Amino acid sequence: MRKILIVLAALSLGACQASQEEADHSHDPASGADHTHDAPSMAPADTLAKFVVPATEVSPEYVQLATGLAIIPEIRDAVESVGVLTHEGIFGPLLFADRSRAFFIELKPGMYLEEHPHPTESLVFTVSGRWVLCSEGKRQVMEEGSLFHFGDNIPTGWEAPFEEGALLLVVKTKEDGADYEPYVQGLRDMAADLDQQRADGVEFYFNDLEPDHEAIQFARGVNPDFDEVLAIQY
């Protein structure tokens, strides 16, 4: 009888340990453990062979690794292949997903953009360089690794008072029907519109501003070599 009790106790302990291991294997307990690793593999006929989608005039090269999975190994390389120069920076598309899109903005040294509202929210990551974020008259130096979010219709502006400029990664919700070609055409239209705005007197660079402008005062406080940036002509 004692041996039977010992065996039953051992089996019970083993079952408890197995149950605990299964519970511990869940990576997302708050969402109901949708994330599982023991789902059956797709049949070979259902898989997509890895291939490279070459760059075009309106889109960067990317790797289609699997069904629904696209990769840009280094977005700095994508910046070199596609982009539209405007007075607000160089803009270019990265990836268009099902419900979101990613694009880049490269700020050139000396650029200035007065804060203004944007209709839809964004997440913005600083890939490299330094720049200044401005909202409601308050300023923050953003450096490599900085991430920020702004909501719908929140006014933001940016300033590039440092010699190296900055590269930004932006993620937004994708509008219905959005794709590379209409997006890039929209950028070209924007560039032409900004050219006209500058001709009409809108300020897009530090050297367009009055010497006592708040942006210039802040720039001198964060960059002792700001005069070199101020001398850049566009």
Name the residue ranges covered by the structural domains of the chain. 76-222
* pLDDT tens per residue, range 76-133: 888 888 999 999 999 999 999 999 999 999 999 999 999 999 899 999 999 999 999 9
Q: What pLDDT, in 10s, does the model give residues 163-201?
A: 999 999 999 998 887 899 999 999 999 999 999 999 999
Provide the residue type at 164 as one letter: E
The amino acid sitting at 171 is V
* Assigned CATH topology for domain 76-222: Jelly Rolls (2.60.120)
- Encode pLDDT of 25-80 as tens digits: 444 444 444 545 555 555 555 788 999 999 999 999 999 999 999 999 999 888 88
pLDDT of residue 187: 96
